[in-house]
Amino acid sequence: MLAYVLRRLLYGVVTVLGVLLFLFILFFSVASPDNMARRAVGEKASPKVIENWKKEHGYDRPLWPWQDPKSNLLFDHFRKALTFEFGKSDADSAPIVERLKAGAGPSLTLTVPLFVLGVLIGVPLSLFVAFFRNTYIDRMGLVLCVVAMSVSILLYIVGAQFLIGKLLKWFPISGFDRSIAVIARFVAMPIVVGLAAELGAEIRLYRTVFVEETSRDYVRTARAKGCGEARVMGRHVLRNALIPVLTNVVIQIPFLFTGALLLESFFGIPGLGSVTVDAIQGNDFSTLRTMVYIGALLFVVAQILTDVSYALVDPRVRLE
Amino acid sequence: MPPLLTVSDLTTTFPSDGRRVPVVDHVSFTIERGEVFALVGESGCGKSMSALSLLRLVPKPGRIDAGSIVLEGRDVLALSVNEMRAVRGFDIAMIFQEPMTSLNPVVPCGAQVVEAIRLHEKVTKAAARERTVALFKRVGIPDPEQRFDAYPHQLSGGLKQRVMIAMALSTHPKLLIADEPTTALDVTIQAQILELLRDLRRDLGMTIILITHDLGVVSELADRVAVMYAGRIVETGRTRDVIDAPLHPYTRGLVRSIPARAPRGVRLHEIAGVVPPPTEWPDGCRFANRCPAVLAYCAERVPPVETRERDHQVWCHAVTAGLLP
């Protein structure tokens, strides 16, 4: 087990290095420091202003080691990323770490309840429709799911803001407040919208898994030895279906930290999703690079977690 | 003493093109205590569906449409869902053709047998465990203590089938249904499992319904046999009578295709054609389109029963008309 995890970690490191190289090519080679500077200070800026901007933000050195083996941007990029030295924002020179710290809290207050409620509602509901498979309850559920997942999240957002926020005035249309007393008022609507947008697809996926399991031979054996339907579903089917369900759940966990781009920016929540959106809009290249890098890092972690959780719930999986 | 099980006119249907097609069609038989009764026939002839009907486990959208199943004076088809649950595994236990997939892959083998015991009897986990280990020993599983905690994928097919048998025996059922218990196993393992069934029958006086397509197995194990073809029983009687002196052309064909009984160097007999799908079964005798002794009216009229000595029954126009010896 330990050897397996170590080997997976090693693969992860290789993947992360690849991502970093890719990032460098995108951010430094495809879009050169000159391009960045022009985006930041304006197309018509004089060469001197551009040189100054590059110098201020540390882009004034050569890109590749063969141009200058001692001081080049490629080595810098790798060294800083691997030591988690994220540096300063290209937009306002604030330390990026501070921005991450400030954004993590609001993001997590939105994404963690969204994730937990998604699992707590999605799994029992899909078990429920699977229990009534091929009846009108199941078919109606499926139609609802397809409708729910076909509607764009933008429509949910605007619709909820109009209906719940403007007409019914149950919750503020958007905004955020860090004090515990009122925080729920601000995240309630985005959570409901997020659930509406994701539950359809999730229930459909889990239902398929459950229904597939109910046609297995061991289910017939369980019935033949006298298990009731509830026990068949709750003990035999659920335990086997848990394997694919769990992988789908575990892989979501790391992304709780990257926040929800659309929900945060539409509901004015200053989370990490907003940090990313602001960075894109504000020509803040260093912050954007950092967010992409963190996303890739979390993705690699998610993959390893998924593989390990597989081994934990399925006795047939042997890790070598 | 009345028979243990009486099945009369059992009819199980599946929907097809807006009508219900019988895959088990007016099947009747009785089973005496302590006997091994074999249901024989080709794939798709309704043997397994007959067995699943006895447990009321016909997969949807199939259902039992008519007939009666009486177990020790109780009408099984009239039982409530909860009463039926108490019958399954306790009065009637079943083992299946596919030991590879019939055990729950994420539950240790022993726990699956313990569950079967504790579903029907109020015993402690420890007591159930002790009984399970004893059962494992009884069905010939080596190192029963270790095997108790093994997952199904850690056991061979033969051992898995032994676990299935242990599970079926765990509550001392009145009737054991063995649905092709050896079909999926290697030949040497097949012999061991058959040997085990024979021992259990001898030592415990088990009543067994053996479902198989292998007449060799039938002649070794069964006291009586019913030959099924396309959802109907075409011939039934004592094993000796049916196998040594088959009457129905279908049974004759089956007997002639037993490898052990054929002379060396002679090509084995085969019955031409295959069992047609249930939607294409003829109205009269279902074997009419494959029968070497077919008469003009066979496909239209359902053959009547013809009873010979020692309850040897056959449903065949040609036999009734005296055209077949």
Is the per-residue pLDDT at B303 higher than 60?
yes
Partners of residue A310 in chain B, C-beta under 8 Å: none
Write down the pLDDT at residue A37.
Answer: 81
Is the per-residue pLDDT at B39 higher than 60?
yes
Write down the pLDDT at residue B272.
Answer: 78
Is the per-residue pLDDT at B121 higher than 80?
yes
pLDDT band at residue B69 using 50, 70 and 90 as cut-offs: very high
Q: Among B90, B104, B151, whose Cβ lies nearest the Cβ of A236?
A: B104
Whether the CB of A168 is below 8 Å from some CB of chain B: the reply is no
Write down the pLDDT at residue B300.
Answer: 86
Least confident of A188-197, A255-264, B10-19, B144-153: A255-264
* Chain A: residue whose CA lies nearest to B116: A225
First to last CA, chain A: 7
Partners of residue B81 in chain A, C-beta under 8 Å: 228
Structure tokens, A169: 């005035």
pLDDT tens digits for range A85-136:
888 887 787 888 888 888 888 888 888 888 899 889 998 898 888 888 888 8
Select the residue from A225, A232, A237 to test the B interface by mutation, using most B Cβ atoms within 10 A. A225
Is the per-residue pLDDT at A319 higher than 70?
no
Q: List all residues 6 or more positions away from B319 whose beta carbon is below 8 Å from its beta carbon.
A: B247, B248, B306
- Helix, strand or coil for residue B93? strand
Q: Which residue has the tokens 């197995």?
A: B217
Select the residue from B92, B104, B177 to test the A interface by mutation, using most A Cβ atoms within 10 A. B104
Whole-structure pTM value = 0.78
Closest to A226 measured CA to CA, from B133, B94, B18:
B94
pLDDT tens digits for range B163-181:
999 999 898 899 999 998 8
CB contact under 8 A, A218 and B167: no
The gap from C-alpha A313 to its chain's centroid, in whole angstroms, comes to 24
Q: Among A217, A223, A315, whose Cβ lies nearest the Cβ of B106?
A: A315
- Helix, strand or coil for residue A29? helix
Give mean pLDDT, residues A255-281: 81
Whether the CB of B151 is below 8 Å from some CB of chain A: the reply is yes
Residue B145 CB: number of other CB atoms within 10 A? 11
- Considering only residues 41 to 70 of chain B, which have any Cβ-Cβ distance to chain A shorter than 8 Å? 55, 57, 59-61
Whether the CB of B89 is below 8 Å from some CB of chain A: the reply is yes
pLDDT band at residue B110 using 50, 70 and 90 as cut-offs: very high
CA B189, B194, B199, B200 dihedral sign is positive
CB contact under 8 A, A224 and B88: yes
pLDDT tens digits for range A7-38:
888 998 999 999 999 988 888 877 788 888 88
More confident residue, B10 or A34: B10
Residue B189 CB: number of other CB atoms within 10 A? 18
Give how far A228 is from chain B: nearest CA, Å. Answer: 7
CB contact under 8 A, A217 and B153: no
Domains with residue ranges and CATH for chain A: 2-82 (no CATH), 103-313 (1.10.3720.10)
Write down the pLDDT at residue A320.
Answer: 56
Partners of residue A226 in chain B, C-beta under 8 Å: 85-90, 116, 119-120
**Fold (topology level) of B5-91+173-320:** Rossmann fold (3.40.50)
What rounded mean pLDDT belongs to chain A?
A: 83
Whether the CB of A225 is below 8 Å from some CB of chain B: the reply is yes
- What are phi and psi for residue A224, nearest 5 degrees? -65, -25
Q: Which residues on neighbouring strands pair with residue B211, listed in sequence order?
A: B39, B179
Whether the CB of A55 is below 8 Å from some CB of chain B: the reply is no
